[in-house]
Amino acid sequence: MNLYEEFFSVVRAFGSGGVRYCVVGGMALAFHDQPRFTRDMDFLVLPDQLEGAATVLHALGYFESAPPWTFPNSVLTLHRFVKMEEADFLVVDVLSGADKRHRDIVEQSLEEKWAKGTVRLARRDDLVWMKQQRGSDQDLVDIGNLTRDKDRENR
Show the domain range for 88. 3-139
Is 151 a member of any domain? no
65-71, long-range: CB < 8 A, 24+ apart: 65/91, 68/96, 71/133, 71/134
pTM: 0.89
pLDDT of residue 154: 38
pLDDT of residue 39: 80
Beta strands 40-45; 88-97: pairing state: parallel
Is 147 a member of any domain? no
The Cα 41–Cα 125 span in angstroms is 19
Report the DSSP beta bridge partners of residue 88: 85
> What is the domain-level CATH number for residue 22?
3.30.460.40
pLDDT in tens, the chain (155 residues): 888 899 999 999 999 999 999 999 888 888 877 777 678 899 999 999 999 999 999 999 999 999 999 988 788 999 999 999 999 999 999 999 988 999 999 999 999 898 888 999 999 999 888 888 876 677 777 778 788 855 444 33
Q: What angle do CA 105, 114, 63 make, to 5 degrees?
A: 65
103 secondary structure, DSSP code: H
- Report the number of distinct structural domains present in the chain: 1
Number of residues written out for the chain: 155
Is 10 a member of any domain? yes
The distance between the two most distant Cα atoms of the chain, rounded to a whole number of Å, is: 50
Is 97 a member of any domain? yes
pLDDT of residue 153: 44
pLDDT of residue 9: 96
71 secondary structure, DSSP code: P
